[in-house]
Structure 1
């Protein structure tokens, strides 16, 4: 069955990046619509009343469109409707660990680390809220290091974050870390296991479109798209 897919997203949004990685890893073709969600465009709010991205629209040739609003609904649908390749392990314990880490990045990591950094580096620029607050950036960078110690410990004992298989947990971590790395705020030298893991993900075909992302006035660090950094 032929299905046309459209993903409404913002290139530097971690949730949008997770959806793009999942679609790419499952080799599902889709059209990207880069959306200035903070301007609350009517097309987006018609699809998702919250006005947030990502939103995935699937249009089968012989039926009504399916509108999937925001990240968790998109990931659950992709895993259920397109199980090959799987992005949750068959082992129940590993699946549970992947889901735990997904929630970790949605809540704790964003609250203590990426939320501070990305608000100061991206949101303030887009919303015209002035220069970055150095105290907030310091809090975000301190929080980032605390989380990276945890990730480094996990990756010294595991091949992937949740266990033996690459999963949505890896995409969640990589989506947040990749945007932080876009601005050059990742302390790679201090966390070699995280760096090795990230290099594996960075070299996957699904990841390559993210490395070409650019936003006017927001330039990436010099190493951002370098696979051998």
Structure 2
């Protein structure tokens, strides 16, 4: 579904992504992990059109999308969430979700109906008439997910949708994400919550200093000495691998 070939992005002397290649299968849940500052969000920004790559190519469903505008990429079926959740505070939860729904539903009634349906899927049905500003962190994370889902994507890029959640809240949102995949949406997620990565993803890529250093199943990644050293520093590969990656 998604093919990224040798994608590079520089900011002055900083190489944010360095010849990154990955291939995402339709109907999968995959993960992109790595230490803070590894280039994960920059890669998402290039895929979704917010940054233009300096080198490389991105193809979605065999169509070249490199350098296209974000709104055009979204129309093709790629939606993303953002690390820093910023709802439209003056609008209700329903109206926030409807903003995304308006991409494919010009009429207000149709967009609001779509918002109601999406809210039920992500567990926000009881909050539709509340101001978005009144939501907890967990509620705002679900709202961010709902706004992206309302655009009716084929590919959903989730950028740390579980960051800031407690263990109970994480356990509650994992089946929501799995249900979205089961409905036919392919998912690529950036996540530091390794319990969620191990539970959800079938394949994972690891970025460090802008470059891919490993890929494979979550179990293979957890046992990879390069990955352990990337997270914990040189010499850390001698510690138990599960402890290193889950820490």
Instruction: Give me the TM-score of the superposition, normalised by structure 2.
Output: 0.31
Which has a greater percent of helix?
Answer: 1
Greater RCO, CA 8 A, separation 6+? 2
Q: Which has the higher strand share?
A: 2
